Amino acid sequence: MGSTLLLFLPLLGSLVLHAPVLRFDLLRSLRHPIDGGRTFRGRRVFGDNKTWRGALVMVSGTVLATILLSRIQPYWARLPMPIQAAGPWKLGLLLGSGAVLGELPNSFIKRQLGVAPGAHASSLRGALLAIYDQGDFVPVVWAMLAPVWFIPPAHAALAFVVVVALHALVNVIGYAIGARTSPR
């Protein structure tokens, strides 16, 4: 089970790279919504917070972190053999792309429910969406990694719980340093 949790560690690279980009508004030319302003049933598809800049930075940060971590033998040796055989580039691209793609369905649902980007609905449904929002990429990463290594469902569920807790902590830290406008 520990190897599964370690598998998600490179995703922290996306946060490390994304935080200064947001804080200092870097790469402005890429700060365009992925949905291009399009709507579905009169509501935005993903909203302004899902940008090409974010997608590029998150994937790049994950790939860089995966490459760096692969050079740390005690880390890399603890990953499942099929993951090691795939190599750091492939793992980083799958993790980073899964993280970016995994956020889109939840954003779409929230936009369709009228929940503003970065906001949470004050209802049971809103609370459940807020929790899911913290780890929404885990099921997509799970699916994307399946051709390389199938993560046992119990391990994926534990990874989801850990990711939700860590993501919430990172959000609070991001808010404290000014990289986020809300601690949620």
12-69 tens-digit pLDDT: 999 899 989 998 999 999 999 999 999 999 999 999 999 999 999 999 999 999 999 9
Query: What does the CA dihedral 98, 138, 100, 64 come to, rounded to 10 degrees?
Result: -70
| pTM (predicted TM-score) | 0.88
132-144 tens-digit pLDDT: 888 999 999 999 9
> Do residues 16 and 61 touch, judged by C-beta distance below 8 A?
yes
How far is 142 from 140, CA to CA, in rounded Å?
Answer: 5
How far is 34 from 48, CA to CA, in rounded Å?
Answer: 8
For the record, the structure tokens of 106 come out as 């939840």
The residues that bridge with 39 in the sheet, in sequence order, are: 44
